[in-house]
Amino acid sequence: MPNRDFFNRWMPVALLLPAFLLGFTFARLDDDFSLHNVKEAARVLGLPFSGPQLEQMMPHLRVHGQSTGALRSYGLENAVPPAMVFNPLPRGFEMPPKDGGSMWQIPDDVALPSNRDELAFYSIPQLASLLRQRLITSEELTLFFLDRLERYADTLECVVNLTHERALEQARHADQLFDAGKVLGPLQGIPYGAKDLFAVQGYPTTWGAMPFRDQQIDYTATVIRRLDEAGAVLVAKTTLGALAMGDIWYGGQTRNPWDLQQGSSGSSAGSGAAVAAGLLPFALGTETLGSIVSPSTRNGVTGLRPSFGLVSRDGAMALSWSMDKVGPMARSAEECAMVLDAIHGPDGLDQSLIHAGFAYRPGTDLSTLKVGYIASFFGDDHVGDDPDHQVLADLRAMGIIAGPVEWNFELPVNALRVILYAEAAAAFDELTISGRDSLLVNQGMNAWPNLFRAARFIPAVEYINAQRVRQQLIAQVHRLMSDYDVIVTPSFGGNQLLVTNLTGHPCLVAPSGFDQASRPVSISFIGNLFEEEKLVALAQAWQDYSMHNKQRPEFFDPSLNNNGK
């Protein structure tokens, strides 16, 4: 999400620009629109135009203002995308071949625990086994997780709405299919949650923001419909930081299950917290610039941010059309892969989608993978330093050779944040202009209301030039990644989180231990475009070796005979 350094560079411009700039840029043409004011604006913006040149352009500035006014009076909903569609594929890119479909190993000998509350931390394969053996019904499992959500949702402030009626209807349908001997896949009958920026017909879609608290969208997002088709059971719409930033929403602040005095980070705040606390087996999140990676880290869960263009965003709130991505959050890499397998692929609606398959097979020969690590980031002084180095030690002990990678791009990477800010401001143009942005809970300097306003001073020419630099960044990262299958990095090391979100590369983030305050930390695995299978294979093997993903937050752990019981 936006950082303070960038904001401090641009805010002086926003503060110094006189009122007339709002006039000709946003069509408030009045008496303040004068050559003197245009000259002052050019000076503040650093434009090297002479007095005669500025005078000559005055008629065109007025026309631009009139055009802007016409566009604004027309009005646009958040769901309408721009005609320009971002494509992350570098020149000469060849789509990696996929060998058939995914295969899953569902055990056939899982028993019901004597303490039913232990089901809260059973994996998707374990739950699938119980359902297939008919040791438990989907309706019973759904009621179990609904009860757990009702018990702890207020403690974590992680749920916007429960979907009781829809969930029980879906669960009963899954049970009917099981009884008829029909199995759709590993997610059949499994309850889950979805970040409340996905439209679900019949339920509010609040985007975590007070101005949209009662918003009803008469439509269901593609990813929800695909999970319906896979037999999964939606039980909750989980919290997100308002308009997909942070963990503060209109109902409060979502909490970290490992430390209830701390926020759960965001923006996929509720999805991360609920999975970590055993309130959901898995949940859907989204990421633009860290919104899966950050809450997965904070809450100690596994998150998979797919390649840009692999999963449809149809029916999801738009923040940045060229950076938004949808992905799963669960307790292991393979469980994330099960969800990705169900939701990926073109839908004929999201025009940014690319025809790329996903075919995961357990038991991948890891010796065939070329693995590197970003050496300079492991040397940084940051939280999680010891766990980061332990990951490398683990990989070496597993026989996986991890060589150092130089991550250095001589491009103004940080300046490319203007892409996110400009697109976000456009996505919420009506909210800002109407003044309803004042209804958002967070009104700080680095909160969306202020950032949306400041972004209006980003020139269109500079936004387009930023996209051109982005194209160069895509080419450079592609050349670097072509030597590796997976690159390992501290999740917040250097600028890799910004870089890979700009280039659209996939990332799998997994818990790697705890910091000195006993809070979870994570490691990230970066892959080539549309090669998520390799990320999952390496991460799952490491998770089986390290077992970090098996840890439970004490307050919610039923095995400790405490409040989790």
Q: Supply the residues annotated as catalytic.
A: 195, 267, 291
Q: What are phi and psi of 402, to 5 degrees?
A: -110, 110
- Report how far residue 272's alpha carbon sits from residue 295's, in angstroms, rounded to the nearest whole number: 6
Tokens (6 digits) for 274? 């609920």
In 377-469, beta strands by DSSP E:
402-405
Closest CA to 402 of 391, 414, 418: 391
User: Residue type at 61?
Assistant: L
Radius of gyration over every alpha carbon of the chain, rounded to an integer in angstroms:
24
CB 319 within 8 A of CB 288: yes
- Report how far residue 71's alpha carbon sits from residue 102's, in angstroms, rounded to the nearest whole number: 47
Report residue 511 CA to chain centroid gap: 17
CB 365 within 8 A of CB 398: no
Helix (H) or strand (E) holding 397: helix 385-397
Please count the residues of the chain.
565
Closest CA to 551 of 364, 219, 277, 202: 277
Which residues does residue 506 pair with via DSSP β-bridges, in sequence order? Answer: none
- Report how far residue 68's alpha carbon sits from residue 456's, in angstroms, rounded to the nearest whole number: 12
Between the two ends of the chain, the Cα-to-Cα distance in Å is: 37
Residue 454, burial from CB neighbour count under 10 angstroms (0-12, 13-18, 19+): buried
Tokens (6 digits) for 490? 């501290």
Query: Which residues does 182 contact at the CB level (< 8 Å), separation at least 6?
Result: none
- Report how far residue 325's alpha carbon sits from residue 473's, in angstroms, rounded to the nearest whole number: 19
